[in-house]
Amino acid sequence: MEDANHSVVSEFIFRGLCNSRQLQTFLFLPFSTLYLMTVVGNLLVALLIIADSHLHSPMYFLLANLSFVDFCLSSVTTPKLTTDFLKDSKTISFGGCGTQILGPLHYSHIMDRHKCIWLVLTSWIIGFLHAMSQLAMILDLPFCGLRVMDSFFCDIPLVIKLACTDTHTLGIVINADSGVLDTTCFILLLISYTYILVTVRLHSKDGASKARSTCTSHISVVVLFFGPCIFIYLWPPSISWVDKFLAVFYTVITPLLNPAIYTMRNKEIKNALKRQISQHVHSE
């Protein structure tokens, strides 16, 4: 009898971003454009840093890694969201749902080259282990009936609600775990930017204004990403449209901001792009 109660669900059904068929059709082009810009922008930044020797420094090594992470984060959810706009039945396999849960690992935290490599490896390993531990909890749950999620991608708090067993305690543990981790990363980043601003202000009055402008734009991206994550995991009431709105921010919008704010405003990146274009033009 216990085996009969275990998972007979092979796929889940998304309700999607909205219910209006006309609005979904209208949203297809904007979201497709946003995803294309995200892919092109982040891959361009990563490849440019790899190809140009002038950018082979620790800072740009980390920016290349961030671009790759943004590309992966967006590619896990946005293509599925976009194609589902044109479908009446929005389904995802049990394995595909697991991939979406595992895919958006946590942002890598942004020194010499060896320290940078270890920093990146450590952040990837911690993110992978954290995601795998939560995925393992879900794979052990029995799913035997409900399979409709009021969302456009698989998120752990929504998936565990579909299990045909009491998951209240598990939900609290997972939300607290993810919420504390996101909050810790957010606080550490804010401390880092504060330290940068104070250091620059003490040593260079001329550079303080530029540093303030740069850090402000960077902090905006950090808030836009971590803010929705922290709200979703730590705020007890679940309001569907609010959760969807915030989820769009950190899965679709934020990955696009990296090439726009972190790099394309950077003079060295612009010069590197000009050099690469010039080399290709002259080689032909």
Instruction: Kindly report the average pLDDT of the chain as a whole number.
Output: 78
Put residue 9 in one of left, alpha, beta given phi > 0 → left and psi -120 to 50 → alpha: beta
Check residue 107 and give its pLDDT: 44
- In this predicted structure, the answer to whether residue 39 has a pLDDT above a threshold of 80 is yes
List residues bridging with 149 in a β-sheet. Answer: 14
Q: How confident is the model at residue 82 (pLDDT cuts 50, 70, 90)?
A: very high
Q: Are 78 and 34 in contact (CB under 8 A)?
A: yes
pLDDT above 90 covers a percentage of the chain that reads 9
190 burial class (0-12, 13-18, 19+ CB within 10 angstroms)? middle
Where does the pLDDT of residue 29 fall: very low under 50, low under 70, confident under 90, or very high at 90 and above?
A: very high
pLDDT at residue 194 tops 90: no
Query: Which residue is it, tokens 């060295």?
Result: 268
User: At 11, is the secondary structure helix, strand, or coil?
Assistant: strand
| 106 vs 182: CA distance, rounded Å | 8
Coil/strand/helix, residue 154: coil
**With 90 as the cut, is the pLDDT of residue 130 above it?**
no
Over the stretch 216-232, which tens digit does the pLDDT of each residue have? 777 777 777 777 777 77
What does the pLDDT read at residue 28? 93
- Looking at residue 211, its pLDDT comes to 62
The tens digit of pLDDT for each residue in 85-121 reads 998 888 888 888 877 777 655 444 434 567 677 777 8
Residues 6+ apart with CB under 8 A from 167: 141, 160, 161
Determine the pLDDT at residue 38: 92
What mean pLDDT do residues 211-219 have?
69
| pLDDT at residue 24 tops 60 | yes
